[in-house]
Amino acid sequence: MSLFVLLLSLFLLQSCYSAPMCMDQTFPKKLNSSLEFCGYSDKACCSAADDLAIQDLFTQMNISDAACSGVMKSILCSQCSPYAFDLYSKSQNYPVLCNNKLVASLPPTNSTTDFCTQTWNSCKDIDIRNSPFANSSNPSNKLSDSYRNVADFCKAAGSSATDKSICFNGGVSVGFNGTQAGPPPQGICLERLFNGSYMNIEPHPDGSNRVFLATQAGKIFLANVPPQGSGKMLDIDLTNPFIDLTDVVHFDNEFGLNGFTFHPKFATNGRFFVAYNCDKSKSATCSGKCSCNSEINCDPSKLGTNNGALPCQYQSVIAEYTVNGSSASPNNVTNANPAEVARVFTMGLPYKTHHAGEIFFGPTDGYLYYAMGDGGNAGDPWNFAQNKKSVLGKILRLNVDLPPTQDMIDNLTLWGIYSIPKDNPYFTDRTFRPEVYSYGLRNPWRCSYDAERPTYIFCGDTAENAYEEINLMQKGGNYGWRVYQGYDLYSSPWAPGPNISANSIDPIFPVLGYNRSEVNNNLGSAAIVAGYVYRGKTDPCLYGRYIYGDLYANNMFTAVETPIGSANFTRDSINFTCTKNSPIPCDFTGKSSLPSLGYIFSFGQDNNKDLYYLTSKGVYRVVRPSLCGYSCPLETLLSAQPPSSKDTSLGLKLETHFGLVLTCLLILLGLRF
């Protein structure tokens, strides 16, 4: 089949994917800079003037509730989406809202709240002036006055998407029906871009080819990423860190700089956040409330000394920093001010281990998520992870854009300067810490969300001695620890704290993982490292697969969800090797034919969605499979250029329609082979 016939077939197979088009049937335009209010970048169906008009309309709505306000803002801004024509094809004042019955790429209702349900839950009883959802028979400004229930609302707001199966999924994302993974990969091909040990990598918020790399000791560096196939290394000046926090970070084994993230509006406010550990015996600013306290009936003097230190000598911290003191254009700053702007969170740790520390902003809500382990010692002896008043063993969700209200200050002992989102699952439940988003975790090491389905948030959880797990996070979900380890009941060897019976909880079991007995190394141990759903363009056979690994590096896994939206994942071990074209030769010493990566600490992505491995032996990037002798039938097709033509109406430029090309090529290959 010729490439031209393939491309023509792609055009005819509209059910595979919708093509970008604006409401006036023009194509999205390239933006010189991101839209300040709506946040769209690269290409959009709105100009800066349109963006201001939407902002004015939003202001006139005068929405009092923060959660509803965020939802309605994203809905108004959806007219800027490159897919606005299909989103608004029902000739109404709002886009088709994604719901579980409408689009298969969304998780089922009992797993994660879809966007239509989220809209109803957030806004059903909120007065909204000039609401786009008001109907002619009842022009009330409240959803609950116009619709009987969530099913009635979603039937109207999401009824029968177009035959192109596209809907609005919140933020700047849309949902497509039936996006599928590529054919099974033979292996993962890597190149080594830099030496040295790094724990975190974050793409630059400006969308460029730059990334930030952080060491566990407390330095963050700005690096330029070379193009794929250039044969060049990362460009990093190790004498000039972006920020140096080694004076405040306590670095030792499981202590150090654990995570950092940039505010969604970094381009204008210059704010970023760092999660790290400190030692109060060495730092005057390292002082916070002990996590073992009277509120949870825990006496610090009874913590014991096994696997520990002085009670709450060590602290977990989230601190805010800024670059605005250096420049009025944050994206251009290469050195940040090391002086802390605000202490968002500080908590004393009971033991030396299991304090995780991942932080990230939710892709659709703009809140800060913080993954916190159970605090340490074998078997979570105080049962912190199940204790509703403890913040240990939890995923926390904080609003760092609003200070705490006086009511929060009067009624809660907060851990820092933040407020609590009103749609947190336990906001009104006084038996729970309201910061909690989900709980029952041992040591959640690394979390990520699927770039195409941001409601899918994956977090790893390292095992005590048996099952290493990957969880699909739900609001209010209980992941079972320490009642369960993986799928099995667990009994702690030392349990001075309260016991919780299995019958008293409704645990959510892992979607992925492995038993330690399956791990192929000589160390007799394992520790899962959660990764990413691969959405890069470099290896189309990895596309749509969740990739993760083990700390001890000899085990890598991919997983595919079948059917899409079921939360039913099938795991496969996968081979890996290094290309001979690697800018830095990989280490093939030893008896194994596999390259020695040392320990895998983390995975990461850049702005092209290329995947990185951060290991004790350096920074590795996924490259084209053919460079390592792996065969992928889509690689040649996707690297080919489309035929030259003056007619651009097909809208099928491979470099900008990768998802369309990949999905439809899978169908074509299936028909051909």
Q: Are residues 29 and 107 in the same domain?
A: yes
Gap between the Cα atoms of 88 and 95, Å rounded:
5
Give the end of a domain, one of 157, 176, 195.
176
Tell whether 11 is covered by a domain: no
Nearest to 615 by CA among 17, 191, 282: 191
Q: Tell me what pLDDT residue 591 has.
A: 59
Tell whether 580 is covered by a domain: yes
Q: Are residues 615 and 644 in the same domain?
A: no
Checking DSSP bridges between strand 342-348 and strand 289-290, what pairing results, if any? Answer: parallel
Q: In this structure, what CATH number is given to the domain that contains residue 449?
A: 2.120.10.30
DSSP notation for 256-304 = SEEEEEE-TTHHHH-EEEEEEEEETTT-TT---EESSSGGGT--GGGS-
Query: Which helix (DSSP H) or strand (DSSP E) does residue 121 occupy?
Result: helix 115-123
| Average pLDDT of adjacent 10-residue blocks, the chain of 673 residues | 43 48 80 88 89 94 88 92 82 82 40 76 90 73 86 78 63 64 86 97 97 98 96 97 97 95 95 97 91 92 69 94 81 94 96 95 94 94 96 98 89 93 93 96 96 90 95 95 96 89 94 88 83 95 95 90 82 94 89 83 97 97 96 74 41 46 55 42
Helix, strand or coil, per DSSP, at residue 359: strand
Give the end of a domain, one of 154, 176, 198.
176
Q: Are residues 203 and 114 in the same domain?
A: no
Question: Using one digit for the tens of pLDDT, what is the confidence trace for 136-192?
Answer: 666 667 888 888 888 888 888 875 444 345 788 887 777 765 555 567 899 999 999
* Domain, as residue range, for 357: 187-628
Q: Tell me what pLDDT residue 91 has.
A: 67
Q: Are residues 495 and 522 in the same domain?
A: yes
Identity of the amino acid at 266? F
Q: Are residues 227 and 305 in the same domain?
A: yes
The answer to whether 605 touches 636, Cβ cutoff 8 Å, is no
Nearest to 103 by CA among 147, 156, 13, 168: 168
Give helix 48-61 / helix 66-77 axis angle, nearest 10°. 150
Tell whether 1 is covered by a domain: no
Tell whether 10 is covered by a domain: no
Q: Tell me what pLDDT residue 302 has.
A: 85
Gap between the Cα atoms of 584 and 568, Å rounded:
39
Question: Using one digit for the tens of pLDDT, what is the confidence trace for 3-36?
Answer: 444 443 443 344 344 567 888 777 788 888 889 9
Domain count, the chain: 3
Tell whether 5 is covered by a domain: no
DSSP notation for 493-527 = SS--S----GGG------SEEEEGGG--SSSS---
CA distances from 481 to 383, 388, 457 (A): 8, 13, 19
CA distances from 607 to 35, 209, 404, 589, 598 (A): 18, 7, 34, 33, 26
Q: Are residues 619 and 663 in the same domain?
A: no
CA distances from 626 to 99, 272, 533, 538, 578 (A): 39, 39, 21, 11, 11
Residues 6+ apart with CB under 8 A from 239: none
Q: Are residues 457 and 498 in the same domain?
A: yes
How crowded is the C-beta side of 412, counted as CA atoms within 13 Å?
24
* Percentages (nearest 5) of helix, strand, coil residues in the chain: 15, 25, 60
Beta-strand (E) ranges in 63-139? none
Q: Tell me what pLDDT residue 213 has.
A: 98
Tell whether 13 is covered by a domain: no
> At 216, phi and psi to the nearest 5?
-65, -25
Gap between the Cα atoms of 597 and 529, Å rounded:
14
Give the end of a domain, one of 122, 154, 176.
176
Q: Are residues 163 and 235 in the same domain?
A: no
Identity of the amino acid at 428? T
Q: Are residues 196 and 152 in the same domain?
A: no
3-state secondary structure 281-294: CCCCCCCCEECCCH
Tell whether 3 is covered by a domain: no
Q: Are residues 375 and 268 in the same domain?
A: yes
Tokens of 146: 């116009």
Q: Are residues 329 and 195 in the same domain?
A: yes
Q: Tell me what pLDDT residue 309 has.
A: 53
Tell whether 8 is covered by a domain: no
Tokens of 165: 């199966």
